[in-house]
Amino acid sequence: MIDGLTLTAPDSSDGGGWREVLSQVSCKVAPGEVLGLVGGIGAGKSMLLQAVSGQLPAGIRWASGSIELIPGPERSLHRLPGWMWRDLRRRRLAWLSRDAAAPWHPGLTMRRQLKEIVAEGARARELTRESDWLPVLCETGLIEPESLLGRLPGELSEPILQRFAIGAGLLRGADLWIADEPTSALDATGEDQILRLLRDLCARHRFGLLLATHHLGVIGRVADRVAVLFEGAVVETGPVKRVLSRPDHRYTRALLDCLPRLGEHRTRLGQIDRVSERGALRE
């Protein structure tokens, strides 16, 4: 649950003041649900995901609002002590980045890295042996994963590394998954396979998935609900089918107008006037 989250950063153009990078953002994701976060460059998608995972860049200040993974009073993440943050990341959060190699140490085998992940995760007691991991890894579509565990990350392809990252989330027992453009480095076939896999696993294992992308087509294929961000604010949210077919906000309509459509002949795609949209947002 994200409620009224506002983050600020130093504003060099304002003589030492602060500017909002996220403004009164509110949204929630339920177990077994995919919430898509969509918007252009600078909309605030990655900043929101970093706030949820406790990895805000230096200089970003938590001005107001809350993010709750643990129900109860005073359980906003920014109020938790450091040790509890670390425990949450190990046991409850899974992160999928656009660079599939980024989470992996290049000098350690996949076996050693997964062993460390399992030992720190919520499922450590039920996954005591390597043979216990294999059915979980097979769920991700890895073929004969036992033959890949002795490899270094640099010896594996991007799609395989992304499947290992998904497997790591399952082995950890995470109940909130955070995905920041997880298919941007993949070709069309790889993208489709990973998106289908995430959709199926989310429904089967009942974890919540926050999926950030600039691609409305991705949102339409995998998300249950969508939050549209512009200039650090949520301008529209709702079920995917409704938002994509009958958008309420002018920025959402502008985003949809930028998409090519089969059978439609246009000399050029739509463009977004950011100054005009910014002015409308402040009205």
Share the mean pLDDT of the chain.
86
Residue 59 pLDDT > 70: yes
Tell me if 207 is assigned to some domain: yes
- Asked if pLDDT for residue 280 goes beyond 90, the answer is no
Is 33 a domain residue? yes
Asked whether residue 178 is domain-assigned, the answer is yes
Per the rule left: phi > 0, alpha: psi between -120 and 50, beta: everything else, 93 is beta
CA-nearest of 129, 200, 210, 199 to 175 is 210
Residue 152 has pLDDT above 90, yes or no: yes
Residue numbers of the domain that contains 181: 27-44+90-260+268-282
Structural domain count of the chain: 1
Please tell me the predicted confidence (pLDDT) of residue 125.
Answer: 86
Q: Is residue 21 part of a domain?
A: no
- How confident is the model over 132-153, as a mean pLDDT? 94
Contact 243, 228 (CB under 8 A): yes
Query: At 73, is the pLDDT very low, low, confident or very high (cuts 50, 70, 90)?
Result: very low
Span 93-115, pLDDT tens digits:
899 988 989 999 999 999 999 99
pLDDT for the residue numbered 107: 96
119 inside domain: yes
Percent residues over pLDDT 70 in the chain? 88
Confidence (pLDDT) at 83: 76
- The residues, any chain, with a CB within 8 Å of residue 63's CB and separated by 6 or more, are 6, 7, 8, 18, 20
- The verdict on residue 187 lying in a domain is yes
> Considering only CA atoms, which of 2, 3, 7, 1 is closest in space to residue 231?
7
In a domain, 78, yes or no: no
CATH number at residue 138: 3.40.50.300
pLDDT score recorded for residue 135: 94
- For residue 137, being part of any structural domain is answered with yes
